[in-house]
Amino acid sequence: MIISCKFFFKSCQQLLFIFVFALCFSGTAHAWVYSEHRDIALRAVEYLDAEHRADFNRLWTDGRSDQESRLCENAADSERGLEADCIDWAAYSAIAGDHSCSSREMLSFIFNEDWLLDVDKASAQLKIALANIPVEELDSDYSHLSGRSSTLTDQMQKQKNRAMRLNALRIADIKLLNLDPQYASRANSNTAHFLIARPVSNITGREYAKIALQPDSEINAIGVYAWYHIKALKKASHLANAPQLSTKQRQMISRSMLADEGFALHFLQDIFAAGHVAGTWGEVSQRLGTHNYYNQHGLEVYTWKKEEHPVVLMGDAHIREQDMSLAAKSISRSLQQVLDFAMGRDTGYPHPYNPLTSSEAEDFNVCTHNHFLQLADGINYEIPLTEVIIHTPMPGLGTALGALPRFRSEVGPFVGLAGSIDSRLIDGGFLDTQEENGYITGLDLSFRAGFGMDDIMGESGDGLVFASIGFRSDSASSNNFSDSPQIGSLSAAVPARSNISTRIRMPFYLFPTDLIWLSPLYLFNEAAYTNMAVTAGNGGLIPWQQGIATSIGRFQFVLGREMGATFYGWRETDYLLIASENNTLNFTNIKSVLIDFPILEYRPFRSFSSNQSSSVMFQLYSSVDIPQGNSTTILDGSTQQLDDIWSIGIRMVFDWRHY
């Protein structure tokens, strides 16, 4: 037992290391889902006036030369459906960052990879699913002041809508992970999709932008937008000031310019997601929890222009019309600058021109760089950058007075206590002659330690890893081996027992513990193993192993994810009263191991505060009580054969954790 425990903990350390290394991202840091990114870009194109729209269409037509089969004829097709066989410009901002790490890589994927069209289709399916789920305001403690009060029906409907949203996102995440194994780790490899926190409250937008772009600054959304937007402006200026360019060269520059701008706009759109405005400071669990909380509940902010009234932002999968309109205005303004530079229009400020500007799409990798490089001539683009950034939300303060409240998620190491009560139906006793069914009731109290990864891919995830040790006590079984009134309760086929109990739980990809045995794969194929680990943390490859949210709680088929073992008779002697061949009653000591496997799990309640969680859970489980040895010798010298006892039961568990 000691050897097996050491092996388990050693294996868990290896598994947790690879999980943390492979999945070490600040939760699902995508500010908007694919379809929301694309819809914002579509709306931005609609906001262009007729002259700029004509310029945009002309440049798109030039840029798609030689790639007509991959790039759609319409740059912003609002009517495209599920069976689209090409990528339009509006999709660039959705592909950027989440499905590619640079605009050069983005174009390479669009031109050479078929899976990107499947990603586009899966995202369109998610859009349809989300369109039928309203984004509702949560009840506040002051709702009674307006004369509104929520009925039970209202609450049930809101819980139903929330469950539908979680299920839709879970299904989409699994599809996207299967199509693009880098999907989860790519966008969360660093803080590129987030705003850095304001260092002080009285900083201006221009000062903030300078800090965000400094070479020693942590990579951030404003900085990435500025980097790629400047690259697009440089290419646009090259088009306007180099009449000697051949048609082929102009087409290539147009294509790269629009790709750079599309890539930049992904990060400008991210700035308008509530969870990304809240900042990135804090450890992983805190960043993830803060991100998820504000995306779902909204955040009141002012823009750098400091309008008279603040605005309320939402986040991924919760976009509203006002969110889309607000973001699209800045996106349209940024795109218009590129078009003005390309057409050589007078904007009231200089358009820097460098004849050595590269005609290829930018290759600055936002997934691998944690800090910016020195951006040459960046100061020359201060005015156009300020024009756009001034209309973006001001991020929250850092670790100082007035900082936004932070929230944690269930990610990270924890210790906890779990108490359970269960009842199981047994198929008889330890002896061949004991075939009558009976019931046993048990109580268990245990100490747990593990690593929570429940929120790695959102609230529908199942990445929990833990080991527990405790004490279990069972009642005597209701079935008897004798009806003699003189024997009384001693006639139970299974006596009352108590002893040490243990339990382990970990996710798996296809079969239990497979992530441990396949962990060497990480050394040879990081992408494949990471995909397996993330999929395991989101319910596994088998569809019926994934959690299903409902308005009354969460259901999940969990066979193979959890196992418990109680060692009866190992700490103190347990006695079994049995009848010998001559019908005399004899006592014999017995040792057995009760192994249980939860099958179906129902969680009606779950609560999480700043560093603690509690939940109530019901489990349908099966168990087998395995006696040590196949037989036992009783006092008169005769031998009795011992059988395994199979059972099925229901357990109620209260689980408390401290992170």
DSSP class per residue in 578-635:
EE-TTS-EEEEEE-EEEEEEEEEEEEEEEEE-SSEEEEEEEEEEEEEEEESSSEEE-T
How does pLDDT run across 117-158, given as a tens digit for each residue? 999 999 999 999 998 888 765 544 444 444 555 677 877 888
pLDDT (0 to 100) of residue 187: 62
CB-neighbour burial class of residue 409 (10 A; exposed 0-12, middle 13-18, buried 19+): buried
Question: 389, 424, 451 — which closes off a domain?
Answer: 389
Residue type (1 letter), 27: G
End-to-end CA distance of the chain: 29
Q: Which helix (H) or strand (E) holds 444?
A: strand 438-453
Instruction: Give the Å distances, CA to CA, from 542 to 123, 166, 349, 546, 549.
Output: 21, 18, 58, 7, 17
Helices 152-179, 526-537: crossing angle, 10 deg rounding: 160
Hey, CA dihedral for 527, 532, 538, 541, is it positive or negative?
Answer: positive
- 29: which DSSP letter? -
Helices 205-213, 382-389: crossing angle, 10 deg rounding: 120
Instruction: Please report whether residue 402 resides in a domain.
Output: no
Rounded Cα distance between 188 and 194, Å, is: 10
pLDDT (0 to 100) of residue 634: 59
Rounded Cα distance between 452 and 458, Å, is: 12
Half-sphere exposure of 170 (CA within 13 A, CB side): 29
pTM above 0.75, yes or no: yes
pLDDT (0 to 100) of residue 502: 97
Is 443 in the same domain as 309? Answer: no
Is 11 in the same domain as 44? Answer: no
Both tokens of 519, joined, read 């962990």
Is 46 in the same domain as 118? Answer: yes
E strand map for 475-544? 497-505
Rounded Cα distance between 352 and 541, Å, is: 52
Residue 430 φ/ψ, nearest 5 degrees: -75, -20
Nearest to 436 by CA among 480, 374, 406, 499: 480
pLDDT (0 to 100) of residue 2: 42
Contact between 617 and 584 under an 8 Å Cβ cutoff? The reply is no
Rounded Cα distance between 8 and 467, Å, is: 9
Is 162 in the same domain as 134? Answer: yes
Q: How many of the other CB atoms lie within 10 Å of CB of 52? A: 19
Torsion, Cα 532 536 539 545, to 10 degrees, reads 90
Instruction: Give the Å distances, CA to CA, from 252 to 61, 236, 354, 429.
Output: 11, 12, 17, 80
Q: Please name the residue that has the structure tokens 């050394």.
A: 523
Rounded Cα distance between 503 and 473, Å, is: 15
- 303: which DSSP letter? B
Q: Which helix (H) or strand (E) holds 225?
A: helix 221-241
Is 290 in the same domain as 173? Answer: yes
Contact between 438 and 445 under an 8 Å Cβ cutoff? The reply is no
pLDDT (0 to 100) of residue 655: 94
- 262: which DSSP letter? H
Instruction: Please report whether residue 327 resides in a domain.
Output: yes
Instruction: Please report whether residue 129 resides in a domain.
Output: yes
Contact between 431 and 413 under an 8 Å Cβ cutoff? The reply is no
Residue type (1 letter), 599: I
Nearest to 2 by CA among 539, 621, 567, 619: 567
pLDDT (0 to 100) of residue 305: 87
Residue 142 φ/ψ, nearest 5 degrees: -110, 15
Is 534 in the same domain as 442? Answer: yes
Give the contacts of 454 (CB within 8 A, at least 6 positions apart).
409, 410, 411, 461, 462, 463, 464
Is 380 in the same domain as 426? Answer: no
Is 8 in the same domain as 52? Answer: no
Q: Which helix (H) or strand (E) holds 468?
A: strand 465-474
Give the contacts of 588 (CB within 8 A, at least 6 positions apart).
575, 576, 578, 632, 633, 634, 635, 640
Question: 358, 389, 420 — which closes off a domain?
Answer: 389
Rounded Cα distance between 395 and 301, Å, is: 8
Is 343 in the same domain as 418? Answer: no
Q: Which helix (H) or strand (E) holds 465?
A: strand 465-474
Instruction: Please report whether residue 404 resides in a domain.
Output: no
Is 450 in the same domain as 359? Answer: no
Hey, CA dihedral for 227, 232, 234, 235, is it positive or negative?
Answer: positive
Contact between 639 and 601 under an 8 Å Cβ cutoff? The reply is no
Instruction: Please report whether residue 292 resides in a domain.
Output: yes
Contact between 217 and 54 under an 8 Å Cβ cutoff? The reply is no
pLDDT (0 to 100) of residue 268: 96
Rounded Cα distance between 35 and 325, Å, is: 15
Is 380 in the same domain as 421? Answer: no
Sequential DSSP letters for 627-659? ESSSEEE-TTS-EEE---EEEEEEEEEEEEEE-
Rounded Cα distance between 277 and 7, Å, is: 44
How many domains is the chain built from? 2
Rounded Cα distance between 126 and 98, Å, is: 16
Both tokens of 17, joined, read 């290391």
Tell me which residues of the chain have a pLDDT lower than 50.
1-9, 11-12, 15, 20-28, 139-146
Gyration radius from the chain CA atoms: 31
Rounded Cα distance between 199 and 180, Å, is: 37
Q: How many of the other CB atoms lie within 10 Å of CB of 280? A: 25
Q: How many of the other CB atoms lie within 10 Å of CB of 574? A: 19
Instruction: Please report whether residue 403 resides in a domain.
Output: no
Contact between 599 and 564 under an 8 Å Cβ cutoff? The reply is no
Hey, CA dihedral for 432, 433, 435, 439, is it positive or negative?
Answer: negative
Instruction: Please report whether residue 396 resides in a domain.
Output: no
pLDDT (0 to 100) of residue 141: 45
The boundaries of the domain holding residue 599 are: 2-18+409-658
Rounded Cα distance between 467 and 475, Å, is: 25
pLDDT (0 to 100) of residue 481: 67
The Cα angle at residue 659 between residues 29 and 22, in degrees rounded to 5: 40
Rounded Cα distance between 178 and 325, Å, is: 32
Question: 360, 389, 418 — which closes off a domain?
Answer: 389
- 508: which DSSP letter? -
Is 210 in the same domain as 276? Answer: yes
Instruction: Give the Å distances, CA to CA, from 149 to 133, 143, 145, 606.
Output: 21, 6, 9, 24
Instruction: Please report whether residue 147 resides in a domain.
Output: no
